[in-house]
C-alpha cells in the first residue's frame, strides 16, 4: 500500500489550470523527485500537499489517513524552502528547537534531539551562530535539520539546492541523499535540474503543464523517454520526425510514420571515415542492426569529460556525445566522419500531451 | 589623500554647528538674567526654570502631552502591526489601498483636517470634539504614514510569508508564529516608527490648538501661551521639552533592546537552553 497517495488533484489560478487531475503514489522511505520546467506545477503540488495552498479538487492521503482537510500545522509534513526561511532572530540551536518547543517537548528531550540533529548535519560547532553568519549551504542544512527534528511523516523539498553554487549543490545533494537513506525519510523533492533528479532519486516523476508525464526509476526515465517532451527535457536527445529518420537510415519505411523518434547522443559512435564512405552511401557493416553513414562535423563543443559534436548526416542534424579520451578521436569543424548507431536505439515516442 | 578626508569632516562639523547653535542659544537664553549687547549673557540665573517648575500648568501640560503621545502611538502600534501583517501575508491585493490611505494625512493640511474632524465629531453618535479623545484619534491618523512605512519595510525585508509558512509547518499556530517569529524580527522597524511618531506628536501644535485648544493644554499650547510673557521663560520650556524627548528616546531605545533580548531569551527558555 502506498504511503503517500495523491488523487485527482486540480488547482486553478486565475482560470489557468496549474494542476490537472494529478495522481501520485509514494512508498515509505522513498525519495521521489518531481522534475519539470518552471511553471509546470511541481511547487504548487508540494504546497497543496503541505496545505499551504488549497486545492480545488482531489485528496491527499498520508499513511492511509486523509489529510486534505487538515491545517498545515496538523499534517505532520515538513518542508524545506529554496529561501531556507530560517528565523533570523534565533540562532541555529533555537531554529532547530522551534518545532520541538511547539510540540511541547520537555527541555531534556529538546536538548538531546537538537544535539542529535546538529551531529547529523555536522554543524555542532555552529549551534550558537545566527543564520546571517552561515553560508548558504550551512543555512540549508540547518533548515533540513529543523524540519527533520520534529520527525515529520513526509518531507517536502522545494528546490532546496537551487540558490547554491554548483560545487556546494553537488556536494549537498549527495549529503542529502545519505541523510535521507540513514533516517529512512520519505521525501518528495522538487527540481528543474535533470542531473540533480537523476542522481538522488529512487523514482522520478516528470511533470509538464500540470500533469505527470512519466514516472519511473532514473534509468527508465532517462533511457526510455515516453514522449517528445520527456526526451527533450531529460537529456539532449535527438528527436527526429519519421521523415528525418527515413532520410538518415535511407529507408523510406519510416517516412509515413506521424510519430517521432528519439536517439541518444551517446548512442551515436563517431569514427574516422576509414571505410571511404561517399556522402550518399550507407552501410550496415558487419552487424545487421548497426547503421553506418557519412557525416560532416558542423560544430564541436567541449563539455569537459565529453565532446558534443553537431553532425550533418544525409540532410539530418544530429548531436553525438563522445567521451573526451582518445586524442585520435577528436574531430574539428568541417571533418568528414563515419557515424554508426544501432537501429534499435531509435526509440519511437508517444505524441506529447497524453 | 588628506584633503579627501578633511572635506567630509568640515561638512560634518559645519552641519553640527548649524544644528546645535540654535539649541545652545536657547539654552543660554533660558539661564540668562540679562543679555542685551554682549556675546555671552551678562548675568546668569536659574530663576526661569524655577518659575517654570513652580507653575502647576507646566507640569500638568507636560504630563498631558506625554500621556496623549503614549496613548496615540501605542494605539497605532496595536492596530497597525496586525493590520500590516494581515495585508502583507494574506491580502496583498489590499496593499495599494492601504498605501493610499496612510498617505492621505501627509497630503491634507492640518487646518483642513481639523475643521473636517470638528464638524464630524461635534455631534452624532461619537461627539468627542473638544475632548482629549478626538486628539488621540487625530494623532493616530497623523502618525499612520510613519508607522506604516517602518513596519511594512521591515516585514518585506524578512520574507514574512516564508517565515510564517515555515513556522506553521513546524507546528506553530498563526498567532504563535506572529508572536514568536514576526514581532521580534520587525521590532527594529517598530522602534524607528515609534520614536519618529513620538517626537512628531510631541512638537505638534496646529491640530491640538484647533481641536482642543485651552480645554486640554498640551506642552505646545502652554508654550504658545507663555511665549508672549517672556522669551527667557519660553526658552526654558523649549529646553525642558527637548530634554524630555531626549530622555524618552533613550528609554524607548533601551526598552526595545531589552524586549528584543527577552524574546530571544524566551525562545531559549522554550528550547531548554
Q: Is 50 exceeded by the pLDDT of residue B236?
A: yes
List of chain A residues whose C-beta atoms are within 8 Å of the C-beta of residue B172: 73, 98, 102
A78 at interface of B, judged by CB pairs closer than 8 A? yes
C-alpha to C-alpha distance for B20 and A254, rounded to whole angstroms = 91
C-alpha to C-alpha distance for A293 and A286, rounded to whole angstroms = 13
C-alpha to C-alpha distance for B239 and A333, rounded to whole angstroms = 85
C-alpha to C-alpha distance for B21 and B12, rounded to whole angstroms = 14
B259 at interface of A, judged by CB pairs closer than 8 A? no
Residue A227 CB neighbours (<10 A)? 22
pLDDT digit string, tens, across residues A13-37: 888 889 999 999 999 999 999 999 9
Nearest-10 crossing angle of helices B56-89, B231-270: 40
Q: Do A102 and B176 touch (CB under 8 A)?
A: yes
- What's the mean pLDDT in B179-195? 89
- What's the mean pLDDT in B216-228? 83
Are A72 and A46 in contact by the 8 Å Cβ rule? The answer is no
- What's the mean pLDDT in A222-226? 91
Q: Do B169 and A100 touch (CB under 8 A)?
A: no
* A90-94, B96-100, B237-241, B262-266: least confidently modelled range: B262-266
List of chain B residues whose C-beta atoms are within 8 Å of the C-beta of residue A88: 158, 185
Closest CA–CA distance from residue B53 to any residue of chain A (Å): 45
As a CATH number, domain A234-349 is: 2.40.50.100
User: Of chain B residues 132-171, which have a CB less than 8 A from chain A?
Assistant: 158-159, 162-163, 165-171
User: Which string of b and e fits A285-299 if b means at least 16 CB within 10 Å?
Assistant: eeeeebbbbbbebee
Quick one: which of A296, A297, A309, A292 has its CA closest to A249? A292
C-alpha to C-alpha distance for A123 and A145, rounded to whole angstroms = 10
Q: Is 90 exceeded by the pLDDT of residue B233?
A: no
- What's the mean pLDDT in A122-148? 93
C-alpha to C-alpha distance for B14 and B8, rounded to whole angstroms = 10
How long is chain B? Answer: 273
Quick one: which of B252, B247, B242, B233 has its CA closest to B55? B233
Are A242 and A253 in contact by the 8 Å Cβ rule? The answer is no
Closest CA–CA distance from residue B186 to any residue of chain A (Å): 10
Are B121 and B127 in contact by the 8 Å Cβ rule? The answer is yes
Sequence-ordered list of residues with C-beta below 8 angstroms from that of A65, at least 6 positions apart, any chain: none
Quick one: which of A86, A80, A82 has its CA closest to A163? A82
Q: Do A52 and B270 touch (CB under 8 A)?
A: no
A103 at interface of B, judged by CB pairs closer than 8 A? yes
What is the maximum alpha-carbon separation in chain B? 74
Architecture of domain A4-233: 3-Layer(aba) Sandwich (3.40)
Q: Do A111 and B272 touch (CB under 8 A)?
A: yes
Band of pLDDT at residue B165, cut at 50, 70 and 90: very high
B271 at interface of A, judged by CB pairs closer than 8 A? yes
Quick one: which of B69, B76, B59 has its CA closest to B249? B69
User: What are the backbone angles phi and psi of residue A41, rounded to the nearest 5°?
Assistant: 100, 5
ipTM: 0.82
Q: Do B272 and A79 touch (CB under 8 A)?
A: no
Beta bridge partners of A106: none
Pairing assessment for the beta strands A31-35 and A203-208 based on DSSP bridges: parallel
Bigger pLDDT: A173 vs A289: A173
Are A247 and A312 in contact by the 8 Å Cβ rule? The answer is no
Q: Show the 3-state SS of A203-249.
A: EEEEEECCEEEEEECHHHHHHCCCEHHHHHHHCCCEEEEHHHHHHHH
What does the angle CA B161 – CA B163 – CA B164 come to, to the nearest 5 degrees? 65
List of chain A residues whose C-beta atoms are within 8 Å of the C-beta of residue B184: 89
Domain extent listing, chain A = 4-233, 234-349
B181 at interface of A, judged by CB pairs closer than 8 A? yes
Residue B124: DSSP 8-state: S
Q: Is 70 exceeded by the pLDDT of residue A73?
A: yes
Q: Do B272 and A147 touch (CB under 8 A)?
A: no
Closest CA–CA distance from residue A58 to any residue of chain B (Å): 21
Quick one: which of A100, A98, A93 has its CA closest to A128? A93
Where are the strands (E) in chain B, listed by range?
32-34, 43-44
> What residue ranges define each of the domains in chain B, with the CATH number in brackets?
58-272 (1.10.3720.10)
pLDDT digit string, tens, across residues B23-41: 898 888 888 887 778 778 8
C-alpha to C-alpha distance for A129 and A133, rounded to whole angstroms = 6
Amino acid at each position: 500500500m502506498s504511503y503517500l497517495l495523491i488523487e485527482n488533484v486540480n488547482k486553478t489560478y486565475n482560470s489557468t489550470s496549474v494542476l490537472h487531475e494529478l495522481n501520485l503514489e509514494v512508498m515509505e522511505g522513498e525519495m521521489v523527485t518531481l522534475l519539470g520546467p518552471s511553471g509546470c506545477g511541481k511547487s504548487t503540488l508540494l504546497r497543496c500537499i503541505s496545505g499551504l495552498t488549497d486545492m480545488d479538487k482531489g485528496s491527499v492521503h498520508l499513511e492511509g489517513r486523509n489529510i486534505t482537510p487538515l491545517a498545515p500545522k496538523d499534517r505532520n509534513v515538513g518542508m524545506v524552502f529554496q529561501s531556507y526561511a530560517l528565523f533570523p532572530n534565533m540562532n541555529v540551536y533555537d531554529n532547530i528547537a522551534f518545532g520541538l518547543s511547539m510540540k511541547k517537548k520537555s527541555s531534556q528531550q529538546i536538548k538531546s534531539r537538537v544535539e542529535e540533529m546538529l551531529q547529523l548535519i555536522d554543524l555542532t560547532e555552529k549551534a550558537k551562530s545566527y543564520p546571517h553568519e552561515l553560508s548558504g549551504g550551512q543555512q540549508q542544512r540547518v533548515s533540513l535539520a529543523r524540519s527533520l527534528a520534529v520527525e515529520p511523516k513526509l518531507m517536502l523539498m522545494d528546490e532546496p539546492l537551487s540558490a547554491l553554487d554548483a560545487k556546494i549543490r553537488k556536494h549537498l545533494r549527495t549529503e542529502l541523499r545519505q541523510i535521507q537513506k540513514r533516517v529512512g525519510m520519505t521525501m518528495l523533492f522538487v527540481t528543474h535540474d535533470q542531473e540533480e533528479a537523476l542522481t538522488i532519486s529512487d523514482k522520478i516523476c516528470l511533470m509538464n503543464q500540470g500533469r505527470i508525464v512519466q514516472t519511473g526509476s532514473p534509468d527508465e526515465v532517462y533511457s526510455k523517454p515516453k514522449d517528445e517532451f520527456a526526451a527533450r527535457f531529460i537529456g539532449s536527445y535527438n528527436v527526429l520526425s519519421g521523415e528525418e529518420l527515413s532520410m538518415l537510415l535511407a529507408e523510406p519505411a519510416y517516412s509515413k510514420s506521424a510519430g517521432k523518434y528519439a536517439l541518444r547522443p551517446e548512442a551515436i559512435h563517431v569514427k574516422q571515415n576509414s571505410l571511404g564512405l561517399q556522402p550518399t552511401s550507407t552501410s550496415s557493416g558487419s552487424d545487421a542492426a548497426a547503421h553506418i553513414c557519412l557525416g560532416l562535423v558542423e560544430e564541436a563543443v567541449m563539455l569537459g569529460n565529453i565532446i558534443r559534436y553537431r553532425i550533418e548526416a544525409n540532410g539530418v542534424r544530429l548531436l553525438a556525445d563522445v567521451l573526451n579520451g582518445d586524442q585520435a578521436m577528436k574531430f574539428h569543424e568541417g571533418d568528414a566522419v563515419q557515424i554508426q548507431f544501432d537501429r534499435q536505439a531509435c526509440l519511437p515516442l508517444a505524441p506529447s500531451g497524453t | 589623500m588628506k584633503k579627501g578626508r578633511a572635506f567630509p569632516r568640515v561638512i560634518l562639523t559645519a552641519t553640527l554647528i548649524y544644528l546645535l547653535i540654535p539649541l545652545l542659544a536657547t539654552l543660554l537664553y533660558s539661564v540668562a538674567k540679562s543679555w542685551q549687547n554682549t556675546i555671552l549673557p551678562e548675568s546668569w540665573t536659574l530663576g526661569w526654570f524655577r518659575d517654570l517648575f513652580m507653575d502647576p500648568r507646566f507640569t500638568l501640560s507636560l504630563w498631558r502631552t506625554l500621556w496623549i503621545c503614549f496613548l496615540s502611538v501605542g494605539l497605532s502600534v496595536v492596530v497597525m502591526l496586525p493590520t500590516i501583517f494581515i495585508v502583507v501575508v494574506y491580502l496583498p491585493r489590499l496593499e495599494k489601498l492601504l498605501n493610499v490611505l496612510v498617505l492621505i494625512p501627509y497630503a491634507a493640511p492640518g487646518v483642513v483636517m481639523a475643521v473636517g474632524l470638528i464638524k464630524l465629531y461635534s455631534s452624532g453618535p461619537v461627539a468627542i470634539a473638544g475632548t482629549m479623545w478626538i486628539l488621540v484619534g487625530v494623532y493616530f491618523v497623523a502618525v499612520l504614514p510613519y508607522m506604516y512605512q517602518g513596519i511594512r519595510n521591515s516585514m518585506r525585508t524578512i520574507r514574512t510569508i516564508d517565515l510564517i509558512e515555515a513556522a506553521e509547518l513546524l507546528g506553530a499556530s498563526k498567532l504563535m508564529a506572529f508572536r514568536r517569529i514576526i514581532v521580534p524580527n520587525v521590532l527594529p522597524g517598530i522602534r524607528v516608527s515609534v520614536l519618529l511618531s513620538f517626537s512628531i506628536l510631541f512638537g505638534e501644535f496646529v491640530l491640538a490648538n484647533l481641536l482642543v485648544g485651552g480645554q486640554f493644554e498640551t506642552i505646545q499650547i502652554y508654550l504658545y501661551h507663555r511665549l508672549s510673557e517672556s522669551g527667557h521663560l519660553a526658552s526654558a520650556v523649549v529646553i525642558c521639552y527637548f530634554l524630555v524627548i531626549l530622555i524618552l528616546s533613550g528609554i524607548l531605545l533601551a526598552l526595545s533592546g531589552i524586549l528584543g533580548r527577552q524574546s530571544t531569551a524566551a525562545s531559549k527558555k522554550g528550547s531548554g537552553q
